[in-house]
Amino acid sequence: MDEQQSVLIVDSSEETREVLQTALERRGMRIFSAAQVGFGLELARRHHPDLIVLDLELDESSPEHLSAPFAEQAGADHASLVVLGSVRRRNSCLPNAEFVAKPYHYAPLIRKIEELLGRCAMGETGPCRRCS
């Protein structure tokens, strides 16, 4: 029925990429991962993932500037965007993104990713408005 859902992880921490990839792959998702913004954006444009996890502390100098093209791509693909880091929604120009402050726990983060992908208990497909 459903195509395999895909998640793009853009995070400079190899550990975070590994933990998320292991956990999400076990949930049947296809994972793309990038350590750098440039390559991440390339993957986003090539594979149109259903959800992008973006660590905004890749480069603290201009997080907004870095995240804008991802937000644009996510918008075009009707994909969800999860932003990790210290930026809060009220300070952000990404109104549709989900913000998770660091240091975060993985279990709630993965639950949130699942919810955004419509894998919540309601069994809906597509982005779950109720949970997001």
Partner 1 sequence: MRNGGNRAVPSLFVIRGNDQGTRFELEEPILRLGRDSSSAIHVHDTEVSRQHAEIRRTNGNYTVSDLDSSNGTFVNGNRISRHLLASGDQVQVGSTLMLYTGRSDEADEDLEMINIAAAEGSQDSSRIIRSVSQEQGSQIFAPDAEFSLNPWLARARSNLQVMYRTALAVSHTLDIDQLLQRIMELIFEWVEADRGCIMLVDPQTKLLKPMVRRTRAGVPSDEEITISKTILDYVIERNEGVITSDARQDDRWDSAASIVQMGIHEAICVPMQGRYDVVGAIYIDTSTSPEEIIRKGKTDKFTEDHLKLIIAIGHQAALAVEDTRYYSAMVQAERLAAIGQTVTTLSHHIKNILQGIRGGSYLIEMGLTDHDETVVGKGWKIVEKNQNKISALVMDMLTFSKEREPDLSKANVNRVAADVIELMQGRTDELGVELVWQPADEMPNMMFDPEGIHRAVLNVVSNAIDAAGENKPPGRVEVSSCYDAEKSLVQIVIEDNGPGIPPERMDELFSPFVSSKKGRGTGLGLPVSQKILNEHGGRTLVDSEVGRGSRFTPEMPAVAVI
Residues lying near partner 1 in the complex (CB under 8 A): 12-16, 18-19, 22-23, 26, 57-60, 102-107
Nearest approach, Cβ of 129 to partner 1 (angstroms)? Answer: 28
Q: What secondary structure does DSSP assign to the chain, as a single string?
A: -PPPPEEEEE-S-HHHHHHHHHHHHTTT-EEEEESSHHHHHHHHHHH--SEEEEEGGGSTT-HHHHHHHHHHHHHHTT-EEEEEES--GGG-S-TT-EEEESS--HHHHHHHHHHHTT-STT---S--TTT-
d(CA 13, CA 16): 5
Nearest approach, Cβ of 12 to partner 1 (angstroms)? Answer: 7
Nearest approach, Cβ of 113 to partner 1 (angstroms)? Answer: 13
Q: Which is nearer to partner 1, 79 or 87 (CB)?
A: 87
Q: Which is nearer to partner 1, 42 or 60 (CB)?
A: 60
Q: Which is nearer to partner 1, 65 or 102 (CB)?
A: 102
Nearest approach, Cβ of 93 to partner 1 (angstroms)? Answer: 22
Q: Which is nearer to partner 1, 74 or 109 (CB)?
A: 109
